[in-house]
Amino acid sequence: MVEKKKAPAAKAGKAKAKAAGKAPARKAPAHKAPARPAPRKKAKPAREKAEPKRAPGHAKKERPAPVVHSAAEGAVAIVDGDNRKLSEHSLRPEVFAVAVNEHLLYEAVKQYRANARRGTHMTKNRALVSGSGRKPWRQKGTGRARVGDIRTPLWRHGGTVFGPTPRDYSYSMPKKARIAALRSALTRRYNDGGLRVVDRFGIEQPKTKVLKSLLDRLGVEGKTLLVEHQPDRALLLSGRNIPGLKVVDSTQINVYDVLDRPNLVVSQEALDKLEEQLTP
């Protein structure tokens, strides 16, 4: 005989309750405790901003603060042709002891270089390039791309599209800004120790050797700007064959020449004229 399998106790209880007409009791759902909020993470301390990495040899250079000399300190020795001290000249602080304005120096140099450009650059467009203007083949029926001119910019030996044309690069700068930039340039040259004042140059004949020996006695080497009030022909001819030397009139001195040459040799008369025209 085949034995009947006994039903599990739970199922047997349900069957008895059903037979008695009672619905099986349901278990009350278990109430879960409310979940605790996750603990807040501690805020990380703010990181200090690291300086950008620089390539080797390109370390950040600290800009030196402008050196402003007082009227008592602003004195320069006046020497003769043999570099012997004759007297002292008190420089005007309005000209040689101002705060150096870097932006004005930049603008003055940029204007000088722009005014020196010739602006003769030019390329030929399709109207100016040499060659025929005929249509190489008919518009339709050849299977090739349509072309109206053999000097189109798309072709070899064709014109240039939007190429450079001659133009004038010069522009003006306000007079007050130019004067202020020149004061800053002279102040920087004085602070660097590149200013030398000579009572007179004494070049009577155009002799390069005489002027070169004068500069050697003054201890001037390298690029030099020599300033004289109304320089005569002998001085101009003597200095034009010395490499790195430029002779200018005191009324034609500019910021670019002062900054480009570390040595500034001025005659006493030219210094007086400079201070007179640059004093506000």
> What is the CATH number for 240?
3.40.1370.10
53 in a structural domain: no
69 in a structural domain: no
**Which alpha helices (DSSP H) does 116-267 contain, by range?**
175-191, 208-217, 233-239, 255-260
Query: Residue type for 1, please?
Result: M
CA separation for the pair 265, 197 (Å, rounded): 6
- Segment 107-116 mean pLDDT: 97
248 in a structural domain: yes
Specify the 3-state DSSP secondary structure of 60.
coil
Are residues 274 and 143 both part of a single domain?
no
144 in a structural domain: yes
Structural tokens at position 213: 């020996």
| 110 DSSP 8-state letter | H
Are residues 185 and 162 both part of a single domain?
no
Are residues 157 and 248 both part of a single domain?
no
Q: What is the pLDDT of residues 159-179, one digit of tens each?
A: 999 999 999 999 999 999 999
11 in a structural domain: no
Are residues 147 and 258 both part of a single domain?
no
Are residues 110 and 124 both part of a single domain?
no
**Distant-in-sequence, close-in-space partners of 170: CB < 8 Å, separation ≥ 6:** 114, 115, 117
Q: Which of 29-38, 64-73, 110-119, 199-208 has the highest mean pLDDT?
A: 110-119
54 in a structural domain: no
Give the domain-ending residue among 151, 168, 185: 168
φ/ψ of residue 167, rounded to 5 = -150, 165
Are residues 195 and 110 both part of a single domain?
yes
Are residues 152 and 178 both part of a single domain?
no
129 in a structural domain: yes
The secondary element (H helix, E strand) that includes residue 166 is none
**Distant-in-sequence, close-in-space partners of 179: CB < 8 Å, separation ≥ 6:** 278
The count of domains in the chain is: 2
Give the domain-ending residue among 168, 201, 230: 168
**What residue has token string 């155009």?**
206
Are residues 239 and 189 both part of a single domain?
yes
User: Residue 244: which region, alpha, beta or left (left: phi > 0; alpha: psi -120 to 50)?
Assistant: left
pLDDT at 72: 43
- pLDDT band for position 259 (50/70/90)? very high
Q: How far is CA 254 from CA 86, 87, 94, 106, 273, in A?
A: 28, 27, 17, 13, 14
pTM, to two decimals: 0.68
Are residues 162 and 205 both part of a single domain?
no
Are residues 123 and 256 both part of a single domain?
no
pLDDT score of 70 more than 50 = no
Are residues 108 and 123 both part of a single domain?
no
45 in a structural domain: no
- Higher-confidence residue of 48 and 1: namely 48
Residue numbers of the domain that contains 184: 75-115+172-278
Give the domain-ending residue among 168, 186, 207: 168
pLDDT score of 8 more than 70 = no
Are residues 162 and 176 both part of a single domain?
no
69 within 8 A of 96, measured Cβ to Cβ: yes
φ/ψ of residue 92, rounded to 5 = -75, 125
